[in-house]
């Protein structure tokens, strides 16, 4: 169990507050950093979280996809944004981010590396499951992975999407694209696609951030002899999403407070990371990045750059930036954090470090394999590791989960219809 070395909140899945009686959602105080008490701990909710064991015959690694040359940039952006109402200026700006790196996003290479790491981990455990890789928005597409499955005679796929939290963009959109790909390829009657639970609070995903925050704080203190811990703020950064999507994130019947399940999951994980990193005494907040959409549409705030600008007035002289919402150092991390946010920090006289994403960290890779095996084995909910009281999350998304009110209904797999 290489993935579960998070001490008391790890392998046993027993977060300290788990026995607490949940309060009503409506009266939940919106304290930054607090786990919203309106959400009933998953382990107390029982059997609807888990499915019967299934003899899967392949893993489907489902990525976002990214361009791999200048000629790919515009067609890729069209794939991502069709029908989304994103202003042209924003698209030009984003195209420029890719152009700056030769039109190449590192994300496909990350997924090739992750696929190889998963294959090695599976082999070392004697698990004979091939890994097929397909993307939502660029070559190789999900359709290609399904064609590969068909050629090899695989009919029961368990998908790992490279996305940890609940929201339309980070969960349901993957599930809709699975349904589309089965329809496109005419394989809907032949191939079944299930999906591992959202893994935001799986110890394998959380461990790399714990190490990163611990190292980040140590580095700042080493490099700045006059710096005290009270002068440091940890900013947990994730992708902003439209507020309407955030409100619909997670199952419709659980209360999660401001920002829905999406924000609640990030706050809960951040709190665990601070505790496990031995940094309970250091200030932190959840911030958002990479906003798009028209200015008239509300998205989750504060933006990371605005938050950084306020730090000196709060008495901070150093910042640790944690890309908590992302699994690898892709364009959102390289541009919006390493380029923009670090520059903003410099402009405001702040020392700054950026923590690594999970990438192919051994705990993360082992954790993903554990997530597949819990579905193969039908592991009971009480035995599933989860470091927050919000999880372990559902194998099959609940009715109304992560709906999108902007784009209208599309059929999705691995969920219960509303
Ligand atoms: C929650 C979330 C994640 C995290 C979960 C996950 O990882 O899935 C994520 C990841 C990513 N987003 C990515 C790229 C883009 N996202 C865009 C647009 C959007 N993202 C959104 C949300 C998210 N996005 C939303 C609400 C939009 C508006 C359009 C809409 O309403 O759906 C656009 C259009 C231009 C722009 O507006 O920025 C691009 C190019 C890449 C690839 C990076 C690379 O190439 O290295 C990755 C990993
Ligand atoms: Fe995105």
116-130 burial code (b ≥16 CB/10 A, e <16): ebbeebbeeeeeebe
Count the neighbouring beta carbons within 10 Å of the beta carbon of residue 291.
18
Among 332, 357, 359, name the best residue to mutate to test ligand 1's pocket (greatest count of ligand atoms within 8 A of Cβ).
Answer: 332
Q: How confident is the model at residue 43 (pLDDT cuts 50, 70, 90)?
A: low
Structure confidence at residue 409 (pLDDT): 86
- Nearest-angstrom CA–CA distance, 200 and 275: 16
On whether the CB atoms of residues 246 and 166 are closer than 8 A, the answer is: no
Structure confidence at residue 134 (pLDDT): 98
59-68 tens-digit pLDDT: 999 999 999 9
51-92 tens-digit pLDDT: 899 999 999 999 999 999 999 999 999 999 987 888 888 888
Structure confidence at residue 1 (pLDDT): 32
For ligand 2, the distance from its centroid to the CA atom of residue 302, given in whole angstroms, is 17
Ligand 1 pocket, residue 239 CB under 6 Å: yes
- When pLDDT is averaged across residues 131-148 and rounded to a whole number, the result is 98
Ligand 1 pocket, residue 108 CB under 6 Å: no
**Domain ranges for the chain:** 47-199+361-383, 201-354
For ligand 2, the distance from its centroid to the CA atom of residue 307, given in whole angstroms, is 21
pLDDT at 413 > cutoff 80: yes
Query: Which residues have CB under 8 Å from 93's CB, separation 6+?
Result: none
pLDDT at 196 > cutoff 60: yes
Q: Are strands 318-322 and 232-239 parallel, antiparallel or unpaired?
A: parallel
pLDDT at 253 > cutoff 90: no
What's the fold here for domain 201-354?
Answer: Rossmann fold (3.40.50)
Ligand 1 pocket, residue 95 CB under 6 Å: no
- When pLDDT is averaged across residues 8-27 and rounded to a whole number, the result is 29
Q: Do domains 47-199+361-383 and 201-354 have the same CATH topology?
A: yes
Q: Going by CA atoms, what residue is nearest to atom 16 of ligand 1?
A: 80
Q: Going by CA atoms, what residue is nearest to atom 45 of ligand 1?
A: 66
Q: Which two tokens stand for residue 339?
A: 């380029």
Structure confidence at residue 199 (pLDDT): 98
Q: How confident is the model at residue 418 (pLDDT cuts 50, 70, 90)?
A: low
- Nearest-angstrom CA–CA distance, 201 and 82: 32
Please write down the HEC assignment for all residues of 78-110: HHHHCCCCCCHHHHHHHHHHHHHCCCECCHHHH
pLDDT at 287 > cutoff 50: yes
183-194 tens-digit pLDDT: 999 999 999 999
Radius of gyration of the chain (CA): 21
Structure confidence at residue 10 (pLDDT): 27
Going by C-alpha positions, the residue among 248, 162, 161, 176 that lies closest to residue 413 is 176
Going by C-alpha positions, the residue among 17, 81, 61 that lies closest to residue 43 is 17
Count the neighbouring beta carbons within 10 Å of the beta carbon of residue 178.
27
**What percentage of the chain carries pLDDT values higher than 90?**
78
Among 89, 259, 292, name the best residue to mutate to test ligand 1's pocket (greatest count of ligand atoms within 8 A of Cβ).
Answer: 292
Ligand 1 pocket, residue 81 CB under 6 Å: yes
For ligand 1, the distance from its centroid to the CA atom of residue 239, given in whole angstroms, is 8
Ligand 1 pocket, residue 107 CB under 6 Å: yes
Q: Are strands 131-135 and 58-63 parallel, antiparallel or unpaired?
A: parallel
For ligand 1, the distance from its centroid to the CA atom of residue 336, given in whole angstroms, is 12
Structure confidence at residue 407 (pLDDT): 86
| Least confident residue range of 39-48, 328-337, 390-399 | 39-48
CATH of span 47-199+361-383: 3.40.50.1400
Q: How confident is the model at residue 252 (pLDDT cuts 50, 70, 90)?
A: confident
Structure confidence at residue 19 (pLDDT): 27
- Nearest-angstrom CA–CA distance, 109 and 65: 10
Q: Going by CA atoms, what residue is nearest to atom 36 of ligand 1?
A: 292
Calculate the average pLDDT of the chain: 89
- Nearest-angstrom CA–CA distance, 171 and 315: 38
- Nearest-angstrom CA–CA distance, 268 and 8: 16
The percent of the chain in helix, strand and coil, each rounded to the nearest 5, is 45, 15, 45
On whether the CB atoms of residues 318 and 232 are closer than 8 A, the answer is: yes
For ligand 2, the distance from its centroid to the CA atom of residue 418, given in whole angstroms, is 25
Nearest atom within ligand 1 for CA of residue 245: 26
For ligand 2, the distance from its centroid to the CA atom of residue 17, given in whole angstroms, is 33
Q: Which two tokens stand for residue 97?
A: 């981010």
Going by C-alpha positions, the residue among 171, 147, 167 that lies closest to residue 159 is 171
């Amino acid at each position: 169990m290489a993935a579960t070395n998070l001490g008391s909140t790890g392998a046993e899945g027993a977060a300290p507050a788990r026995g607490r009686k949940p309060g009503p959602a409506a009266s939940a105080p919106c304290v930054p950093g607090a786990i919203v008490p309106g959400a009933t701990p998953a382990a107390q909710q029982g059997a609807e979280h888990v499915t019967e064991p299934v003899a899967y015959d392949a893993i489907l690694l489902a990525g976002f996809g990214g361009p791999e040359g200048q000629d790919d940039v515009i067609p890729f952006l069209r794939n991502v944004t069709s029908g989304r109402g994103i202003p042209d200026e924003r698209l030009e700006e984003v195209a420029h981010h890719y152009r700056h790196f030769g039109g190449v996003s590192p994300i496909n290479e990350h997924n090739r590396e992750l696929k190889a790491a998963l294959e090695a981990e599976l082999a070392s455990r004697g698990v004979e499951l091939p890994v097929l890789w397909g993307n939502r928005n660029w070559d190789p597409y999900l359709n290609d992975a399904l064609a590969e499955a068909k050629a090899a005679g695989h009919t029961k796929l368990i998908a790992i999407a490279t996305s940890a939290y609940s929201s339309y963009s980070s969960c349901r959109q993957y599930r809709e694209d699975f349904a589309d790909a089965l329809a496109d390829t005419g394989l809907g009657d032949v191939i079944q696609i299930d999906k591992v639970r959202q893994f935001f609070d799986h110890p394998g995903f959380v461990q790399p951030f714990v190490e990163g925050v611990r190292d980040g704080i140590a580095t700042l203190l080493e490099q700045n002899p006059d710096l005290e811990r009270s002068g440091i703020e940890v900013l947990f950064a994730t992708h902003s999403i439209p507020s309407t999507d955030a409100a619909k994130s997670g199952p419709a019947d659980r209360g999660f407070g401001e920002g829905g399940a999406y924000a609640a999951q990030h706050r809960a994980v951040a709190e665990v990371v601070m505790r496990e990193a031995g940094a309970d005494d250091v200030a932190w907040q959840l911030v958002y990045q990479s906003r798009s959409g028209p200015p008239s549409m509300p998205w989750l705030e504060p933006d990371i750059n605005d938050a950084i600008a306020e730090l000196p007035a709060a008495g901070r002289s150093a910042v640790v930036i944690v890309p908590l919402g992302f699994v690898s150092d892709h364009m959102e991390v390289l541009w919006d954090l390493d380029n923009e946010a670090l520059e903003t920090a410099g402009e405001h006289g702040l020392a700054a470090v950026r923590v690594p994403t999970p990438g192919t960290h051994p705990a993360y890779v082992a954790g993903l394999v554990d997530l597949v095996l819990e579905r193969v084995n039908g592991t009971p909910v009480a035995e599933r590791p989860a470091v927050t009281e919000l999880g372990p999350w559902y194998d099959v998304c609940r009715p109304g989960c992560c709906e999108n009110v902007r784009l209208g209904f599309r059929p999705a797999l691995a969920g219960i219809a509303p």
